[in-house]
Amino acid sequence: MSLIAEKTTDLQQEIRRLVKERNAVMLAHNYQRDEIQQIADIAGDSLALSMEAARTDAEVILFCGVHFMAESAAILSPQKTVLLPHMEAGCPMADMITPEKLREKKAELGPDIPVVTYVNSSAEVKAESDICCTSANAVAVVNSLPGDSVFMTPDMNLAKYVARHTKKKVDWWKGFCPTHHQLKAQTVIEMKETHPGAKVVAHPECAPDILDLADHICSTSGMYAYAKKENAKKFIIATEAGILYRLRKENPDKEFILVSEDMLCPNMKVTTLEDIHEALVEMKHVITVPEDIRLRAKMTLDRMLAVPRD
């Protein structure tokens, strides 16, 4: 074992010791670094992680992800201490809309058009919305609402995907995930030519012309399920690189190829084992949500969770 590998292993073991000592649960988003996912108690997508953490007896939620994810944990588990290991781990898409701008848009829309907000958003924006959605249930959420029009925020690509699968009129805020949005159709075409027969799996945060080239479109959790059940042996993955760790671990007999080396989210990769260790030692970077905002934001999540699954 190299000195670097030995140091990593030692730090991982020390983190696990501290997690136990603090009565904590360690959550890692699917896009986190491999060495972080390796030692997490639970790995998954943002909302599922917060929901799982709420069901545990842990007093501390250590959320290895970005700021809005830790906020979601605080919304669902106000009695627990929520730590975000790196305070600069934000989300550019979530930052593309503010509660003030959303209030202005709602005044323009009027009371009859519901606002559907992607969970990849701040607590304040959730609190100004009518209902939340995930990339997995967005179509079901939109179809569950009264009326024939909805407004979706902040991800226009998810909204455009939903518009293809509903009879409702869908309008949207012009936000996007920079990591997914920068992917070009020509890159996907070239990868398909290089790897004939490979299944292209894309996240709905990608632009519509990317989705047109995909064999399957789904959330990160959907990608894990699809890879297990699909008989193909080779997959081209059009989402952030961190998902490859678990895909390869769970399907050692299959090949997973990242659609582009540029599919790296700097915000997801900013958190390190050193950050996690320091946060646990000092119990710092506590994420809280003011109670009035928390209750309103939780209502939008509760409404979403009440929508029957397709």
Q: How many residues does the chain have?
A: 310
Percent of the chain with pLDDT over 70: 99
Between these two residues, 140 and 54, which has the higher pLDDT value?
140
Torsion-angle region of residue 285: left (phi > 0), alpha (psi -120 to 50) or beta?
left
Supply 263's token pair.
């599919």
When pLDDT is cut at 50, 70 and 90, the band that residue 1 belongs to is low
Domain boundaries, the chain: 3-90+268-289, 94-176, 179-264
**Arithmetic mean of pLDDT, 192-212:** 98
Classify the C-alpha dihedral 84-242-298-23 as positive or negative: negative
Q: What is the pLDDT of residue 7?
A: 84
Torsion-angle region of residue 226: left (phi > 0), alpha (psi -120 to 50) or beta?
alpha
Look at residues 279, 271, 285 and name the one whose alpha carbon lies nearest to residue 18. Answer: 279
> 171: burial class by Cβ within 10 Å (0-12, 13-18, 19+)?
middle
Which ranges of 110-243 does DSSP label H, i.e. alpha helix? 123-127, 138-144, 156-163, 178-181, 185-194, 208-211, 220-229
Q: Which CATH class is domain 94-176?
A: alpha beta
Tell me the per-residue pLDDT of 163-188, one tens digit each, with 9 for 90 and over: 999 999 999 999 999 999 999 999 99
**Arithmetic mean of pLDDT, 226-249:** 97
Q: What is the pLDDT of residue 5?
A: 77
Three-state SS across 252-274?
A: CCCEEEECCCCCCCHHHHCCCHH
Q: What is the pLDDT of residue 158?
A: 98
Looking at the DSSP bridge assignments, the partners of residue 216 are 201
Site of tokens 């809309």: 97
When pLDDT is cut at 50, 70 and 90, the band that residue 86 belongs to is very high
Classify the C-alpha dihedral 306-79-88-66 as positive or negative: negative
The rounded distance, in Å, linking the Cα atoms of 70 and 53 is 11
Q: Which CATH superfamily is domain 179-264 in?
A: NadA-like (3.40.50.10800)
pLDDT at 16 exceeding the cut of 70 = yes
pLDDT at 309 exceeding the cut of 80 = no
The rounded distance, in Å, linking the Cα atoms of 246 and 249 is 5
* CATH classification code of 3-90+268-289: 3.40.50.10800
pLDDT at 109 exceeding the cut of 90 = yes
**Arithmetic mean of pLDDT, 111-126:** 97
**Arithmetic mean of pLDDT, 118-133:** 97
pTM score, two decimals? 0.94
Q: Give CA angle at 67 (66, 70), nearest 5°.
A: 95
Please check whether the two domains, 3-90+268-289 and 179-264, share a CATH topology.
yes
Tell me the per-residue pLDDT of 22-39, one tens digit each, with 9 for 90 and over: 999 999 999 999 999 999
Q: What is the pLDDT of residue 2?
A: 74
Q: What is the pLDDT of residue 46?
A: 82
Q: What is the pLDDT of residue 310?
A: 61
pLDDT at 106 exceeding the cut of 80 = yes
Strand order in the sheet with 115-118: 131-133, 115-118, 149-153, 169-172
Could you tell me what percentage of the chain is helix, strand and coil, using 3-state DSSP and rounding each to the nearest 5?
Answer: 45, 15, 35
Mean pLDDT across the chain: 96
Which ranges of the chain does DSSP label H, i.e. alpha helix? 3-21, 34-37, 46-54, 67-76, 99-109, 123-127, 138-144, 156-163, 178-181, 185-194, 208-211, 220-229, 244-250, 266-269, 273-282, 291-305
The rounded distance, in Å, linking the Cα atoms of 63 and 76 is 13
Torsion-angle region of residue 23: left (phi > 0), alpha (psi -120 to 50) or beta?
left
